[in-house]
Structure 1
Amino acid sequence: MKATTRGTFLAALACVLVGASFTANSVLGDYPYAGGQFLRYGLACLLLLPLLGRGGTAPLRRLTTRQWARLALLAAVGMVGFNLAVIAAERTAEPAVPGVFVGCAPVAVAVLVPLLEGRRPQRLVLYGASLVAVGAFTVQGWGRTDGAGIAFSLCALAGEVGFAVLAVPVLRPLGPRLLSATVCAVAAVESAVAGVLVDGTAWLRTPDAIETAALLWQAAVVTVVGFVCWYMGMQRIGAERATLLSGLIPVAAACTAPLVGTGSYGVAQALGSALVGAGVALGSSAPARTTPPGRPARARERRRPGAVPRGRG
């Protein structure tokens, strides 16, 4: 299997897992937010540690202060902050509203990543990302909201974009497994601190049987499997192409909703799914970046150490 095909499959699997996890999120509405995040990411970190192997944490000692700050920001914005923004948005807005904003993440990443790397956005990737965003909107539709719902939905979009963009410079030195374990550990600490400051002693309680099952699913499947697959996919095909596949999140949610009686799959969902597929195909058809003639690849990497290699294996 080609590296690009494997990377696409891994990123797609991660997005499908996230989309299918919305059912688990729905049963955690009464559980303290910070406590749930602490248990989810803390357990995920513990599950990831055996996958690192002997000496698997050694690269952490070589990280700079700036890289540690980036990891802290990644956890705060792309994980803890993203989930909090979605929950806050859904207090005054229907779930489709933050979903539509998050569906615009491929467009933002298609513009931001090239600019941060000192190059121009690729037209095919940008066009494909736009199709994915339209498809995500078609799948979910629009719902009731107010100013607060829109504001928190924008925060959720920023979190989704940050989850991809902030990881680019630290993915190379850490690798997918160690990066996933590290940001989970940081997110667990951040969740605990936030919980104590906001909720005091009520920030954590023993979950009931249903909540325990939901938290285990989120930790073991959505976080451990999903994060590792996402970053392995991003390592192989780059952040721009990987984020195109985030359009599969609402598609997976729409496909699984009828199974639990929380929604239906109709003509709009089918049309939106087709648009997402077309956008992914169009964006993925863009030629991979190549090293300019006469300029060794190694020299380019020294100048831009944060860039993700195009051939992730």
Structure 2
Amino acid sequence: MMVLERWKGMLYLMGAFTLAGTSVITAWLLNGKLGTFTITAVSLLLALLCMVPLCMKDLRRTVGRLSWGGWGYLFFQALLGMFLFRMLLLHGLLHTSTAEAGILTGTTPAFTVMLAFVLLKESVSGSRLTGMLCTVGGILVLQGMLTPGISFKEQHVYGNLLVLCAALSESGFNLLSRIGSVKQTASPSQAMHPVVQTTLVSAIAFLLCLIPAGFEDPVTSLAAIGLREWLALIWYGPIVTAVAFIMWYAGIERCHVSTAAAFSGMMPFTALLLSVIVLKESAGWEQWGGGILVVLGMFLIGRQQAKSPPSAKPLQSEHGSLAGARE
């Protein structure tokens, strides 16, 4: 039973990061037509319109019994995983090249494993370490680090530091999610279903995005877009945001943080596949070689995860109406 739960957790994580990788199509469709925070705010609103009716009863129950500490964990997850990550990456791209930013975002798995090792005392076996090295190396290769002509420039130092902070912010979100899962396991009365947790985090992130989105003239820009852009926003909200985060929370409570870090390699790999298939962009040996390394890394860590139980047992949902969604 425990082995089945661990495999389910890994499948949830793969699904979450695969869906997150499809955001490359959304960015391509909305590029230059809407501001970054406008895209985030509208997509979160659309996601909330889908999720709130689904979990209204359990949402009320959770809000009524959630402690201040629980609210703090949710706030920082929204701050790090949705709001701060986008803001740092956005401003970093103003001061550095997209190639350098792409290379630096590949450091997220390394940051995540490092934080998990230091703060959560998660063990790093030979197989897991090899898998992580394959994943990080694959992401760097996939992003074109070995492509001739790509090098870090001194005038890009400030922008590169911002992108590194964005990667560290995403790693912090991964860590907080796992800590919150462990605390919920230790205190069943504080347990939250993934749909409820995603709804609350999305609502907090939506509120954080409202003020910066107001400076992007959202009403005018939204009135100017067409059906294709609205469909992209719908995909980015209920699917990429809601479904991906629900799968993320369902997966992280069953797996180690380092396992989640390895599966995060599915984001750039999925983006690569969609860029080739949908956007008809060309891909060289670096991209395909990096993709193979990412898949190899996930296999090595997945095999190790199946052999050793995570530090917290899988949560047993106390929410009857939603329990079936996790099976």
TM value normalised by structure 1: 0.84
The aligned residue for residue 231 of structure 1 is: 249
Counterpart among 14, 17, 27 of residue 16 in structure 2:
14
Superposed, which structure 2 residues align to 1:1-313 within 5 Å?
A: 2-30=4-32, 31-52=34-55, 54-142=57-145, 143=150, 146-171=156-181, 172=184, 173-196=191-214, 199=215, 202-205=217-220, 207=222, 208-209=225-226, 210-261=228-279, 263-286=281-304, 289=308, 308-309=312-313
Distance 1:112 1:124, change over 3 A: farther
Deviation at 1:107, TM superposition (A): 2.0
Distance 1:144 1:49, change over 3 A: farther
Deviation at 1:203, TM superposition (A): 4.6
> AA paired with 2:240?
V
Q: Contact 2:269/2:291 (CA < 8 Å) preserved in 1?
A: yes
> AA paired with 2:132?
A
The aligned residue for residue 298 of structure 1 is: none
Q: Which runs of 4+ in 1 moved over 6 A?
A: none
Q: Percent identity?
A: 23
The aligned residue for residue 320 of structure 2 is: none
Deviation at 1:118, TM superposition (A): 4.2
Q: Deviations over 1:155-177 (max 9, x none)?
A: 22022212211222334322311
The aligned residue for residue 294 of structure 1 is: none
**What value does the CA root-mean-square deviation take over the aligned residues?**
2.6
TM value normalised by structure 2: 0.81
Tell me how far apart the structure 2 counterparts of residues 23 and 94 of structure 1 sit (CA, whole Å).
20
Unaligned runs of 5+ in 2: 185-190, 317-326
Distance 1:124 1:185, change over 3 A: same
Greater shift, 80-89 or 118-127, is seen at 118-127
Greater shift, 23-32 or 115-124, is seen at 115-124
Tell me how far apart the structure 1 counterparts of residues 131 and 99 of structure 2 sit (CA, whole Å).
22
Tell me how far apart the structure 2 counterparts of residues 262 and 89 of structure 1 sit (CA, whole Å).
27
Tell me how far apart the structure 2 counterparts of residues 88 and 136 of structure 1 sit (CA, whole Å).
22
> AA paired with 1:236?
R
Deviation at 1:106, TM superposition (A): 1.8
